[in-house]
Structure 1
Amino acid sequence: MSAGSAARPGPSASSAAGAGAAGPGARSAARLLTDLQQRYRDAERATEAYNATTEKLGRQRAEVARLDGKLVRARLSLRDSRGAAGRLARQQYRSSSGVSSYVRLLLTRDLQRALDEGQVIRQVSRERARTMDRLAGSERHAAGLARRARKALDDRLSLAARQRKERDQVQDRLKKVEKLLASLTARQLSALDALEKRGTETAQRKLVTSGALSGVRAPSPQGQEAVEYAVRQLGKPYQWGGAGPKSYDCSGLTSQAWGHAGQPIPRTSQEQWARLPRIPLSELRPGDLVVYFPEATHVALYVGDGKVVQAPRPGTRIKVSPIAANPVLGAVRPDPAAKPVRRYTPPATAAAATDVRDGNAR
């Protein structure tokens, strides 16, 4: 990835430009920042779509394996049923003389023996009927499983094709980012960096002064574990589709942090936003997830004091950032019923870490 220094912008480029110097240079930087913002969002949207398809593909592979196993067992059962039906047919054939039981009863000299034989024959006939019913049921079951297994395999192949297509889309969008960054001069990159920083500071100041953020709150036990896990990943590189242990994307970091804490959550930022309980920003506590952008294409882990741990974008490293580094959509809590710990000391690294320049973090 190109070593351009522009971090993923949070506030809009126009508001950031308004907070800084005006003039042609500022307007040009604002246009560049807007373009870069859009390309990063396109790349992250494609990445989260890829992640979602990858998750579905994993589940579908497991379903194919499950149905294949059931189909093998059903076919073994069908073979056993056919064997039992064959044995009963041969037994009935050997016991049958071709004379009806009524005629044998008239001609026999041993009435009791004839009655007993008739009872045995009727019992064998009933057993054969039950066996044939089981055989028919086994055949229907095996045929149904075969159809389901074929459909599951077709679905898996379709998902694999979609995954490849989405992978190509991610790579295409990242190439567009690289192309733009490669076209910028050092002065332009510096201007973008300064503009983005001013925009983040302005957005953070507005959020804090509005009273939207809560005071100091303690996390739940699992939330504390999630925070500690995320903090231990500081400095590791962003990698689209990454879920550790050496690199992460945004939702890979949050899902792994909570999974490590013993609370599995959805893999993608959209699913985390859609399926986890939402909370107002005023109730944020460490461990909660902050979701960004209207389409929920970015997510970070709240660590307290108005800051989050995030895997920002390709070319950067995991870091602590102001919560307003991106436009906030809302927040969710993976463990809403859990009570906070009695005593909580924020991780020293989280308290001391700053939103370092991406040019130095790469």
Structure 2
Amino acid sequence: MRILCATAVATTILATPATAAPAAPPPAAPPPAAQSVGRLLTELQKLYRQAEQATETYNATAVALKKQQREAALLGKDLTKARKDLTASRAAAGRLARRQYQGDSELSPYVRLLLARDPRSALDQGHVLRRLTDRRARTIDRLTAGEKHAASLATRSRKALDKQTALAGQQKKQRDTVRQKLAEVEKLLAGLSAEELAELSRLETAGTEKAQQSLLASGALGAPGPGGSPAATRAPSSAGDKAVRHAVRQIGKPYVWGAEGPESYDCSGLTSQAWAEAGRTIPRTSQEQWKQLPRVPLKSLRPGDLVVYFPDATHVALYLGDGLVVQAPRPGTKVKVSPIAANPLLGAVRPDPGAPPVDDYRPPKLPKGARDGSDTGYGSATAPDA
């Protein structure tokens, strides 16, 4: 019996499945909130970049529309004048036709020529005949040329107005695109708690500081000074100095897309107006500023130069010196001073490459709170009506 019992117990133990050893715990994942805010930061940066790209496209169309409106206005004035001249020519042709009908025309000298008493009278009458014939020919030529000119101007005017209408429609679509992108941003932000917004700001600030330190350490702005500080600031040109001082005076004014002052600005509105105040006209949009203005290496930056961002040149700022820029960052922010590496750098351009630097340059004094606020911006903005 003992043998049978022992055998039964052994059989039971062998038949029972062995319990698996507990698995090693998975690696700790970041808290859900941190993951969520990190993804939001990436998504927001993408949306703001898309919105700014649409903004600069909108600005370019606005410039083209203004140019087309000026052309259409000039054509309209020329067409009005041409029609007045045509009316005068038609009146002269009518008078000529009436005179010919009444017998007071170049046909009368023919009759007088046949009845002339002597050769002298015949020559005088021939001269009168030629003058009358020339006058009729000039009148007809003016009438024909006037009709052709008026018809050509009318065609060009119609084409100019058609192009103006197409540009206005295109501008409206681009405006709607910007509004849609900003609405997407607002929708994302609406569901965030105060803690998540604070974390979003912290992540953004940390990213900017890291990018700035990396840029300075790389020597891209020139050999860093003591303690890794930015390279010494070069003196600007006289116009560059004026542009910088104008931009600094705009600090604290709100970003509004499509705006170019004096109460609000977008990024390229600020840079173009700063240089306009300095007496130099530069392109309105960041893409055209990058495309048309002479480029300079970052190591040669001087105050007043334009720093352009992102691969498609959709953002621009004005170099202040000391590794800083003055910029209108994004909707919801105000014109402020930011680290030059606040956005991914594309390069720099100089509106006055041949101008000499000023003597004894002293940077403008920055207002209190010039560096406060987000360098990216996460707020609402009111879009213009047109």
- One fold, TM greater than 0.5? yes
Q: Which moves more between the two structures, 261-270 or 298-307?
A: 261-270
1:276 Cα offset (Å):
1.0
Alignment check: 8 A CA contact 2:255 2:329 kept: yes
- Relative to structure 1, the CA distance from residue 97 to residue 147 in structure 2 (aligned partners, 3 Å threshold; closer, same or farther) is closer
> Are 2:268 and 1:251 aligned?
yes
Partner of 1:28: 36
Q: Alignment partner for residue 125 of structure 1, among 108, 130, 133? A: 133
CA distance in 2, matches of 1:247, 1:150: 36
Q: Alignment partner for residue 140 of structure 1, among 148, 172, 175? A: 148
1:353 Cα offset (Å):
3.7
1:60 Cα offset (Å):
1.2
Q: Alignment partner for residue 317 of structure 2, among 289, 300, 315? A: 300
CA distance in 1, matches of 2:88, 2:352: 50
- Relative to structure 1, the CA distance from residue 355 to residue 291 in structure 2 (aligned partners, 3 Å threshold; closer, same or farther) is farther
Question: Identity of paired residues, percent?
Answer: 61
Secondary structure of the residue aligned to 2:358 is: coil
1:107 Cα offset (Å):
5.0
Gaps of 5+ in 1: 1-21
Q: Which amino acid aligns with 1:44?
A: E
Partner of 1:19: none
Higher relative contact order (CA 8 A, sep 6+): 1
CA distance in 2, matches of 1:98, 1:346: 86
CA RMSD of aligned residues (A): 2.5
- Relative to structure 1, the CA distance from residue 198 to residue 38 in structure 2 (aligned partners, 3 Å threshold; closer, same or farther) is same
- Relative to structure 1, the CA distance from residue 350 to residue 335 in structure 2 (aligned partners, 3 Å threshold; closer, same or farther) is farther
Partner of 2:332: 315
- Relative to structure 1, the CA distance from residue 254 to residue 98 in structure 2 (aligned partners, 3 Å threshold; closer, same or farther) is closer
Q: Alignment partner for residue 180 of structure 2, among 169, 172, 182? A: 172
Matching of residues 215-226 of structure 1 within 5 Å: 215=231, 216-226=233-243
Partner of 1:282: 299
Partner of 1:340: 357
CA distance in 1, matches of 2:119, 2:197: 109
Q: Which moves more between the two structures, 244-253 or 84-93?
A: 84-93
Partner of 1:205: 213
Q: Which amino acid aligns with 2:146?
A: S
1:33 Cα offset (Å):
1.1
Secondary structure of the residue aligned to 2:331 is: coil
Q: Which amino acid aligns with 1:177?
A: V
Q: Give aligned pairs, total.
A: 341
Gaps of 5+ in 2: 1-28, 223-230, 381-386
- Relative to structure 1, the CA distance from residue 166 to residue 99 in structure 2 (aligned partners, 3 Å threshold; closer, same or farther) is closer
Q: Which amino acid aligns with 2:139?
A: T
CA distance in 2, matches of 1:236, 1:302: 18
Return the TM-score normalized by structure 2.
Answer: 0.82
Higher Cα radius of gyration: 2
Secondary structure of the residue aligned to 1:76 is: helix
1:296 Cα offset (Å):
0.7
